[in-house]
């Protein structure tokens, strides 16, 4: 376990391969999770970027929604990027009709806060918890954290103060996509949580 944690990537939709590649490169054994029984054999889970409303619908169709909620509530370490951040949030604004999250993160997250695909951008972020150098962050139809509860630690903000990375206990979430920019420190931080929990 300590040497090679088994980490799931929710593989219903989104940038599953990119996360699997980063995690494998960091020494994790990666399991693609599509069914409830596959949750039982993993030590942590990544919720990838993609389309949060589609992942929500597919999770219900595959019977995954309640098992995922139970795993998160039970303390499983989870890292959500972009759509994954939305899925972790207890509260969503600008979701489509009927959209729900898995919850666990005491935060309000605004879906597609920056607009459409053409409003995608890149920037460098100072992340004190990760040290130097700055994180090169890629935002693709990204969400924003509008508010957080007292148990949530803010890890990164844009220059204008808007929140784009948070953690709460075993949960980590970023508005951006480290898995596409070659940035591994968030995945390393997540794996440290997985090892500590195991």
**So which residues are the catalytic ones?**
82, 177, 179
Instruction: Determine the Cα–Cα distance for residues 171 and 39; give it in Å rounded to an integer.
Output: 16
155, 152, 153: which is closest to 134 by C-alpha?
155
**What is the SS3 assignment for 58-111?**
HHHHCCCHHHHHHHHHCCCCEEEECHHHHHHEEEEECCCCCCCCCCCEEEEEEC
Contact, 189 vs 175, CB < 8 A? no
């Amino acid at each position: 376990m300590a040497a090679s944690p088994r980490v799931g990537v929710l593989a219903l939709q989104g940038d599953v391969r990119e996360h699997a590649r980063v995690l494998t490169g960091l020494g994790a054994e990666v399991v693609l999770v599509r069914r409830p029984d596959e949750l039982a054999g993993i030590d942590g889970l990544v919720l990838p970027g993609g389309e949060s409303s589609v992942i929500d619908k597919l999770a219900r169709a595959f019977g995954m929604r309640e098992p995922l909620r139970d795993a998160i509530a039970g303390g499983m370490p989870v890292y959500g990027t972009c759509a994954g951040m939305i899925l972790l949030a207890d509260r969503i604004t600008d979701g489509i009709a009927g959209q729900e999250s898995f919850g666990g993160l005491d935060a309000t997250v605004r879906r597609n806060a920056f607009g459409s695909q053409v409003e995608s951008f890149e920037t460098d972020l100072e992340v004190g918890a990760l040290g130097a150098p700055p994180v090169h962050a890629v935002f693709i139809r990204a969400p924003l954290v509008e508010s957080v509860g007292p148990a949530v630690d803010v890890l990164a903000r844009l220059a204008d103060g808007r929140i784009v990375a948070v953690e709460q206990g075993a949960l980590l979430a970023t508005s951006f996509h480290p898995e596409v920019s070659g940035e591994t420190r968030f995945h390393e931080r997540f794996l440290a949580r997985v090892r500590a929990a195991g």
